[in-house]
Amino acid sequence: MAEANSSAAALPAQVHPQAKPGYGKRSAPGQRRRTAEDFAHLPPREASIAAFIDRLPEGAAMDAKTLAAHLPNYGQAACRTALRRLSLEGHLRRVTERIKGDGGSTHWVTRTYFSRTARDDEWWAEFQAGNVPRSRTQPPRQSLPSEKPPRSQAYEALATAGRMDPRMTLSAADCAALEPLAEEWLARGATPADIARELTAGLPPEVHHGAALARRRLRDKLPPERSAPPLPDRTLRILECTVCRTPGRPEALPGGLCRPCRGESLPDLPQAVPPTEIHRRAAAIRVNLRTLERSST
């Protein structure tokens, strides 16, 4: 399988044509680092095509026709089938996306997001909604029992004050007790250096209780609260079927495919009501209305 991956990688991706500006391939966020086993779970053809796509630059055209023109071993039908399989396996999704142009105007483009790390439908639904999902491929590192937890920026700022001026040397217990006050400074936009400077500026010749002085300064000179930053514009995305480009909600496109492209029949639509039945029901409603009018007079 690694041979299939490497053979695709050897193709000259740098001469591969780009799609129209704003269109083409986009790399999904949070992928693992590239390895020779990224597509080992796929059949050889799909693994080879996936490895080729993985090495294409951003914005590269990756429709079946373009891929077939640059992959001599596969025709358009084979490339279409491979793209379908890669979608089912969670490696790609076709998306219509609204983007801003140079003059601030918006327009819609069609992009194919590719991930060498296979993602499930839930991950792609979160991505479509504008939320960058957390990677589920690497569990958080567990600290060893012998490891000490890292010291916070607030704690370090308090400890730094004593190094800047020995009169403000604080004990470990003092730093831990004052840490919440220093954290509030950081939350309001101050830096650790700002805190240390404020604690050491204009000190009297002798400081008898550095912790008490630090507490008073941290409380009395607390910066004002910052206004909330404006929310970033959320990219509007609409998923499309990878095969036929039918738009739909994520739950209607499991594996990135609509029901017909998954080989499933559409649900039976309710039978239309014949015109004669419509006229009969309308006449009955009119009779009921006239009866109500007479009874109310």
The whole-number pLDDT of residue 265 equals: 74
Residues in contact with 205: Cβ distance below 8 Å, sequence separation at least 6, in sequence order: none
Residue 112 lies in a domain: yes
Letter string b/e over residues 93-116, b meaning 16 or more CB atoms within 10 A of that residue's CB? bbbebeeeeeeeeeeebbbbbbbb
- The residue-averaged pLDDT of 191-199 equals 93
- Average pLDDT of the chain to the nearest whole number: 84
**Least reliable range by pLDDT among 20-29, 42-51, 99-108:** 99-108
- CB 115, CB 142: distance < 8 Å: no
Cα separations (Å) of 254 from 41, 53, 166, 242?
20, 22, 64, 11
**Least reliable range by pLDDT among 7-21, 38-52, 228-242:** 7-21
Higher confidence at residue 145 or residue 127?
127
Residue 227 lies in a domain: no
Residue 296 lies in a domain: no
Residue 146 lies in a domain: no
The answer on 123 and 29 residing in a single domain is: yes
The whole-number pLDDT of residue 229 equals: 64
Q: What is the DSSP string of 129-144?
A: TT--PPPSSSPPPPPP
The answer on 242 and 280 residing in a single domain is: yes
Residue 88 lies in a domain: yes
The answer on 200 and 246 residing in a single domain is: no
Model confidence band, residue 148 (pLDDT cutoffs 50, 70, 90): low
Higher confidence at residue 280 or residue 136?
280
141 pLDDT more than 70: no
Domain boundary among 197, 220, 243: 220
The answer on 238 and 126 residing in a single domain is: yes
**What is d(CA 189, CA 174) in angstroms, rounded to the nearest whole number?**
23
pLDDT digits (tens, 9 = 90+) for 170-185: 999 999 999 999 999 9
**What is d(CA 208, CA 206) in angstroms, rounded to the nearest whole number?**
6
The answer on 157 and 278 residing in a single domain is: no
Instruction: Express as a percent the part of the chain with pLDDT over 90.
Output: 50
Q: Please state the domain count of the chain.
A: 2
Amino acid at 146: S
138 pLDDT more than 60: no
- Residue from 108, 128, 12 nearest 69 by CA: 12
The whole-number pLDDT of residue 14 equals: 47
7: containing domain: 1-130+234-289
Domain boundary among 176, 197, 220: 220
Model confidence band, residue 288 (pLDDT cutoffs 50, 70, 90): confident
The whole-number pLDDT of residue 176 equals: 92
295 pLDDT more than 50: yes
Model confidence band, residue 272 (pLDDT cutoffs 50, 70, 90): confident
The answer on 110 and 8 residing in a single domain is: yes
Instruction: Express as a percent the part of the chain with pLDDT over 70.
Output: 84
The answer on 44 and 117 residing in a single domain is: yes
